Structure 1
Amino acid sequence: MTTKTSPFARDILNDDKSENVAGILQDNLTNLIDLALVMKQAHWNVVGTNFRSIHLQLDEIIVTVRDASDEVAERIATLGVPADGRSSTVAAESDVENYPAGFVKVPETISRVADATKQVIDSLRDAIEKLGELDAISEDMLIAISGELEKHLWMLQAQEA
């Protein structure tokens, strides 16, 4: 659990709310960072038919995910709680399934990154429900992030049909 240690004199939310919201956001920050790493691992090691299109598509998703993680981390800091994106935290706390080492053929790559994207979307949607009563700004931010990831998931899944 993150603890409020803000150097700022003007709180946006009260301390209890800030810590609760920041904790929910931190869980999603960890998952988003890990999803970007999974996508990059897949990007580097995808092989097979249609390699180039999935290789480029993964980079597009990575941009979305990295932008989202930055937005979530900055929201945590805005609430007066330090964001934690350290590799040790991500490794210990991410809900995203590990990606295999080595080369992975295109169909398996698509399936694995779609599964990882869905895991993060599920986490975001759970957080959206929790944030509804706590902080509309954070809720709205996660709704926007989820919408973008859901679009990427659609495009991934369309390749499995």
Structure 2
Amino acid sequence: MYVVKSPLSDADLKAVADALQGALVDLIDLSLVAKQVHWNVVGPRFRSIHLQLDEVVDSARLHSDAVAERASTLGVSPDGRAATVAAKSGIGATPEGWVKDTDAVKTLVDALGAVITRMRERVATTADPDPVSQDILIGITADLEKHHWMFQAENG
């Protein structure tokens, strides 16, 4: 079996690996939540919210790949399996069935807020042990905060 040697100490690697794994889980779940709502949103603002949801899906998928590849680079096997995501995500339950446009916005504001809170903790956790991973997490957090702002603006 091939194992990648990490440039980090064992203790630092554990902290960074946990941060990256947590980010991966939250980003995968965020993409799933946004896509579920995308398929089911209804109401007068359907089109704009439908399109905006796909932007979140695309961002979350892109960022989850960057996080998983950073973990692999450090010698940590990323775990994006459905059971892992379901057990470890910080995002609450997603509405079932059709979702009124105003409820869709609230769902995304809440989901993004939960992920951002956890991402900011991960930014702090990775500051000393691995500024490279921290930089990746900072960029992701900035992008998520932009989406969060845009969905909050939907509520007027």
TM-score (norm 2): 0.96
Q: Which residue does the alignment assign to 1:13?
A: 8
Contact 1:19 1:81 in 2 (8 A): no
Q: Distance in 2 between matches of 1:158 and 1:24?
A: 30
Q: Which runs of 5+ in 1 are unaligned?
A: none
Q: Which residue does the alignment assign to 2:106?
A: 111
Q: Which aligned segments of 4 or more residues in structure 1 are displaced greater than 4 angstroms? A: none
Q: Which residue does the alignment assign to 2:58?
A: 63
Deviation per residue, 1:64-106 (Å, 9 max, x gap): 1110111111111111010000000001111111101100100
Q: Which residue does the alignment assign to 2:48?
A: 53
Please report how far the alpha carbon of residue 6 of structure 1 lies from its aligned counterpart in structure 2 after TM superposition.
6.3
Q: Which residue does the alignment assign to 2:124?
A: 129
Counterpart residue identity of residue 120, structure 1: V
TM-score (norm 1): 0.93
State percent identity of aligned pairs: 47
Contact 2:21 2:78 in 1 (8 A): yes
In the alignment of these two chains, the number of paired residues is 156
CA RMSD of superposed structures (Å): 1.3
Please report how far the alpha carbon of residue 126 of structure 1 lies from its aligned counterpart in structure 2 after TM superposition.
0.6
